[in-house]
Structure 1
Amino acid sequence: MSTEAETTTPGSEDEYHLDLLGTFHWILAGLAALAGLFPIFHVLFGFIALVASIVGVEGDPEARGLGVVMGIMFMLIGTLIIITFWVIAFCLYLSGSYLKAHKNHTFCMVMAVISCFSFPLGTALGVFTILVLVRPSVRKLFGVA
């Protein structure tokens, strides 16, 4: 009596692992995109400070200038953080798609290393992705020598 694990070939096991890793890359991409929404509060706070400084009729001109600068800084930094998270999320999505399609081995490896910096989920996903991508049979699936 043979079990399913005994009848699988290494190629199909590699394809299964790549498909699973691709799905997890998509999940991490969704989480990164969601986390990228949190700095919207900084942008909103900066906008409120900017408008309050500009519209405020009374007050010290230095204080108004500081309010404008602080509002712009909050909006700029918040926007940059949002864009960074969304770019990483998009790259993780692409990496998941490439893993499923067995394309762009180098890009997938780079994204696996980058995801290692996102502790703890990204670290686990990155390490497992690296371990799968360095297998000779997986390199053959990608067409890498």
Structure 2
Amino acid sequence: MQRSLETEKIEKHLDVIGILFMVMAGFSLLTVVFIPFHFMLFQSFTDHFPRQANGPDPRRMIQDMQPFIYIVYAMIGLFSLFFGAILLAAGINIRRRRHFTFCVVGSALICTSFPLGTALGIWSLLTLLNKQTRPLFEQRTDLGDADFLD
């Protein structure tokens, strides 16, 4: 079966988009590694806050906020893991040409990561919503269980 030049171009775009999704997922997951480092830096700075004679003790204020700070760090870590996992799954599915709707949702979600994610998300949405792209995803799903051989 002869493929058109436009179809080959779209397939190359989808491959590049899938790889870039995986790179962005790696950056998101890398954020989780820096959370403990940031926390240690934060702790070291709070030990050296100057105290005014009549003012409140900054160390005491930080100690009072510590539970809230732990919750914020945990939420940032969980969000980064979730965001990275979604982007990784979307990138893999874009490259495999599977789960079209999930890929569109992942493309919309990456738009929230300004500025690189926004550019990548718009490009991926424009490519995915092209009328010639949808049949590429449907061809892959028609194979059923046999596409594990790729």
The question of a shared fold, defined as TM-score above 0.5 by the shorter chain, is answered with yes
1:83 aligned residue:
78
2:89 aligned residue:
94
Q: Percent identity?
A: 28
| Count of residues in correspondence between the two structures | 125
> For residues 28 and 5 of structure 2, what CA distance do their matches in structure 1 show?
35
Alignment of 1:1-145 (within 5 A): 9-41=5-37, 43-44=39-40, 69-143=64-138
> For residues 26 and 95 of structure 2, what CA distance do their matches in structure 1 show?
17
> What residue ranges of structure 2 are gaps of 5+ in the alignment?
45-59, 140-150
Q: 1:28 to 1:67 in 2, by over 3 A?
A: closer
> For residues 34 and 124 of structure 2, what CA distance do their matches in structure 1 show?
28
Deviation at 1:99, TM superposition (A): 0.3
> What residue ranges of structure 1 are gaps of 5+ in the alignment?
1-6, 49-64
> For residues 85 and 39 of structure 1, what CA distance do their matches in structure 2 show?
10
Find the residue that maps to 1:103 and give its secondary structure. Answer: coil
CA RMSD of the aligned region, Å?
A: 2.8
1:3 aligned residue:
none
Letter in 2 for 1:104: H
Letter in 2 for 1:34: L
Kindly provide the CA deviation profile for residues 64-114 of structure 1, in whole angstroms up to 9, marking residues without a partner as x.
x97665222211210110110111011101110000000111111111111
Find the residue that maps to 1:118 and give its secondary structure. Answer: coil
* Structure 2 length-normalised TM: 0.71
> For residues 80 and 105 of structure 1, what CA distance do their matches in structure 2 show?
29
